[in-house]
Structures are given as structure tokens and as C-alpha cells.
A and B are shown apart, each in its own frame.
Chain A
């Protein structure tokens, strides 16, 4: 049976791990490689590295970091943040990343999704979407959630699937940083409207939030940062709990 995945997300700035709370108020907390190895040892199913300072001059640093991560860890990982061109994609894939995630750049240039799918395969193209509920609708936001767009989330996910995306990483801005649980409604609506896997993100605060996510939606994975990052919920404890609750998870 295919297992539900637990994915820690590591925000990277200047080669160090950070986590934004509601996209602002960043705290510095650790060496990404050491943290990644610890997550692997604890049973994380996959890792996401999000470079939040991915400017042109930082690109080389990121590629070096990706190279080191790939040398050290034996589970899949995704790299995102400032991936704007097919050349950016190529450099991190060649350095050893399994997937890239594109967000604002895909909204600006949807053709990028098709380019990635054609050159490297759909499986390595994760489309990350920051979504916010406003006036009765879920909309797509870009630039780290700072800029609204008129694009409806349900329209966008269908479009990116057709363009060749292999997976959706859906972050609810209404839930992110609240620790009040995942946005179950939009996660399920998105998951039902497309046939590619959906990773739910934003709002995880308790072990029960993951259980509810997997029991009430078709999400393939749950992603979180701070609860893992600051040891609030150790991954082995979360997996132990989910196993006892009869959720299909990988047991190591």
C-alpha cells in the first residue's frame, strides 16, 4: 500500500535553516545538512528545502548546498525558491535534487512547467501554491504570499496539471503559522479536481492534525516546518501515533 508521507520543510537563508512564522519574523536555527540527516534518521519520508534568499548571487551557494545534501542523505528531496528558468532547474537537478518546486515563476511563466516536464519529467516538477481564502474564494498569491493575483486556486491547479506538473504543494496562508490544523476544505477540493498528488502545508500544530488530514482528504503528504524544526513534535512520535491510528505510513 502506498504510504502517506511526512515531509519536513527547511527554509534556507545564507546556507542556514530558518523558519518564517506567517511568512515574517524569521528565526535562525541550524545547519541544514545536520538537520536533514537528523530528519532522515527520524523517519522523514522526503525533505523540502526552500531557499528564501534565492537571488542571482546566492544561486551558486544553493547549488553547493544541494550538492552536499545529495551526498549525505538517502531519501528524496525537493529544492525550491527563486527557481525562475530552466537553467536554474537544471543546475539544482544536476547537483542532485530529485525535484524542484516552482511558485511565482510558474504563475509569471506557466510555460516553465512544460519545459521542466519535457526536459526532466513531470515527476520532478512540483508546483507550489500559496493560497488565501478571500471573499468566498481561494486565490493564488505570489512572492512569498505578499502579492495577490486574480487567479482562482481551483483553476490554477487544473492548468498546472495540464501543463505537466507532477505534484502540488498547497500552502494555505490562512492556516500557515496558526498551528490550528491544515486547511482541509481547499486541500480536498484541489485533490478531487486533479489526478496528481497533493502535499498539504500550513497549520500543522498537533499529531491529530495529520490524522485528520489523512482521514478526511485525499492529500498524499503533510508538510510542516516549525513543529519538527523546534522539536515540538518529533517525527518518530508522530509516526508512532499515526500507525496506532491506522494511517498507512512508512515504518522504519
Chain B
């Protein structure tokens, strides 16, 4: 069973729909036991960092997430919340990745909305995915590039668009909204 972490973030159902299309059963849950017993965990999210973090702390989900031993995939806001700190709402985050989340300087249109390719990809998460493949983005904040980056994207500046630390994976783009290439990435994660 795949657990999708339920919290006050938008569009969690899209992830479940994507898993259904791939033939995987999943539950949307904020129950500690269900999350820790799942074979894989997805931490999705579209929303605002400080209110999301506050909600996770109130529900005790911050400690639950840190103690997950099975592969976990954070998506978009999920990735940002897995970092140390976010400028959005001046938020202390989960600290799984040793990097900071900053707001894009307004040198181009912000939010970064639309399809963008990679400058580099590595790790099994990107099996059969090329640097020229486009994924769908929608975000105003980015994680700074760091040694845990497993993929980078360039918009205004190069940023960490995917990271890995032990069993923790995360992507800034939305694989569940990135057509067949995104489906491939979800499949790669589910087959880890």
C-alpha cells in the first residue's frame, strides 16, 4: 500500500489519480501507523510553506515524516518542506535536505509556470528520462543547488529540481501532471 500524506495542501487527489492509472492502490492519510506501515510514501503539495508546516507540527506529522524508513517522494511544496528553511513565511522546515528555499529574483516571470527540461539528471529515479524531457512546474520558490541534488533545472538561475538523501526523494516539478514522462518518473519511484 502507498500512503499519500494528507495535510492542508491542495491537489493531493491528482497524485492518487496518477497512482490509480499506474495500477497502484493508495490511501490518503494523516495516520501515523498507516504512514509508517506503507511500502512507499508520497508527500505531495501545492500551497504555502508556513501554514503547511504549522499544520504538520500540530498533527505531529513532522516527526512521523522524519522517521519514515521506506522510500518517500516529496513533490513541489513537499520538496520545499523537506529542506532546512524556506523564505516563504520565514519557515523552519523538516531539515531532511541540507539546503534553503528562496524566492526567485524577479528577472523573469514569477511564478515559474510551465514545462522545463533539465541541465543534469542522475539516480535511478530518472531511469529512461532524458535531460531534454520536459516536466511541469508551478512555483515561486526554489531549493538552492547542493550535493544532494539528483537533477537540476535552469530558470533565472540553476536550482535543485530533484534531491535524494537516503530513502528520501523529492522533485520540484509535478510528475503527476507531467504527461508520460512524469508517469515514467512515478513508475521509477514505485519500482525502487
Task: Name A's B-contacting residues (CB within 8 A).
Answer: 1-5, 40, 45-46, 70-71, 74-76, 93-96, 98, 118, 120-124, 166-167, 195-197, 218, 220-221, 250-252
Contacts and interface: CB of A to CB of B under 8 A. Distances in A.
Name the prevailing secondary structure of the B interface residues. mixed
Given A1-B117, A122-B140, A195 B106 contact: yes
Interface string B109-128: 11111111100000000000
B134 A123 contact: no
B98 interface: no
Contacts of B109: 195-197, 218, 220
Given A2-B114, A122-B111, A197-B109, A71 B17 contact: yes
Contacts of B136: 75-76
B20 A123 contact: no
Contacts of A71: 17, 20
Given A93-B11, A96-B14, A74 B114 contact: no
Interface string B39-52: 00000001110000
B46 A94 contact: no
A120 B47 contact: yes
Contacts of B178: 74-75
A195 B178 CA distance: 24
Interface of B: 10-11, 13-14, 17-18, 20-21, 46-48, 106, 108-117, 134, 136, 138-140, 154-155, 174, 176-180, 182-183
B113 A197 contact: yes
B113 A98 contact: no
Contact of B111 (A45, A93, A196): A196
B10 A252 contact: no
Contacts of B140: 122-123
Contact of A96 (B11, B112, B116, B155): B11
Contact of B10 (A46, A76, A93, A221): A93
B116 A3 contact: yes
Given A122-B140, A250-B134, A94 B13 contact: yes
